[in-house]
Amino acid sequence: MMIDRQSRKALFETVAQRVIASADELTDLDRAIGDGDHGSNMRRGFEAVLATVDELSAKNLGESLKGVGTTLVMKVGGASGPLYGTLFMSLGKSLEDEVTREQVADAFAAAIEAVKARGKSDAGQKTMLDVLLPVLAVLREGGPDMAARLKARAKAAAEDTIPMRAIRGRASFLGERSIGHMDPGARSSALIVDAVAEFMEGLA
Ligand code: ADP
Ligand code: MG
């Protein structure tokens, strides 16, 4: 598939609008097991993406994604800012405007490894990785109805963090008491994946 300038703009707008519209939900989740700032952190970051979307999407896909990553690092703050920044900057390193599913999967895998390295984290620790990794598996698999399956997997994976005990991030300070709540970063990752999948449906 070809991700031209207009598509890049539509992609970034779709993702940013979804995150911004869900800020209250993310804040409520973070209030339960964190410090209640995940929604406002993410809204600030993606409002900055929206404000500069023409400039960001004018560059090729790789450079555009790096620009989004840099914006998120500068604006989101908290633990999640550098991690989402790393994810987008790493995606930008290898993707060209004309991409195959396999190339996206490889780039996404490398980006997840970069997040793991930066967060010193891995699967099963009740973080955004518990959504990103299952989503990567769906992307690798390929097959029909990719967008619908990505959405469903992302939503379910975020819900699967509810019974987990947090081992990384602020929620880990709660120990056992982190059990029984959805991880805010897992939910924001699911929202981003859902928006990307919606964009993919628009391309098809
Ligand atoms: P803070 O915890 O600094 O207030 P946010 O509230 O914006 O930052 O983000 C919290 C989210 O960041 C968590 O729900 C979790 O998904 C993610 N997170 C925190 N630490 C890590 C880590 N080491 N690795 C992966 N994700 C992490
Ligand atoms: Mg927080």
Q: What residue's CA is closest to ligand 1, atom 11?
A: 185
Give 31-35's long-range contacts (Cβ < 8 A, gap of 24+): 32/181, 33/166, 33/170, 33/171, 33/174, 33/177, 33/178, 33/181, 33/183, 33/184, 34/169, 34/170, 34/171, 34/184, 35/170
pLDDT at 204 > cutoff 90: no
Residue 138's pLDDT is 98
The token pair at 138 is: 């769906």
CA distance 23 to 40: 6
Q: How far is the CA of 182 from the centre of ligand 1 (A)?
A: 12
CA distance 109 to 72: 20
Residue 78 has φ and ψ, to the nearest 5°, of 60, -165
Are 38 and 184 in contact, with CB atoms under 8 Å apart? yes
Angle between helices 80-94 and 38-51 (to 10 degrees): 40
CATH numbers and ranges of domains, the chain? 5-203 (1.25.40.340)
- Ligand that comes closest to the CA of residue 79: 1
The model's pLDDT over 181-203, given as tens digits with 9 standing for 90+, comes to: 999 999 999 999 999 999 999 88
Q: How far is the CA of 34 from the centre of ligand 1 (A)?
A: 9
Q: Distance between alpha carbon 41 and the CA centroid of its chain, in Å?
A: 14
Q: How far is the CA of 139 from the centre of ligand 2 (A)?
A: 29
Amino acid identity for residue 73 in this structure: V
Residue 7's pLDDT is 96
pLDDT at 156 > cutoff 90: yes
* Residues contacting ligand 1 via CB (< 6 Å): 30, 34-35, 37-38, 41, 78-80, 83, 119-121, 127-129, 168-170, 183-186
CA distance 194 to 64: 20
- Give CA separation, 113 vs 93, 119, 123, 158, in Å: 13, 10, 11, 19
Q: How far is the CA of 46 from the centre of ligand 2 (A)?
A: 16
The model's pLDDT over 25-66, given as tens digits with 9 standing for 90+, comes to: 999 999 999 999 999 999 999 999 999 999 999 999 999 999
> What is the percentage of the chain residues whose pLDDT exceeds 70?
100
Say whether pTM exceeds 0.95: yes
CA distance 3 to 11: 9
CA distance 105 to 176: 34
HSE-CB at 202 with a 13 A cutoff on CA atoms is 14
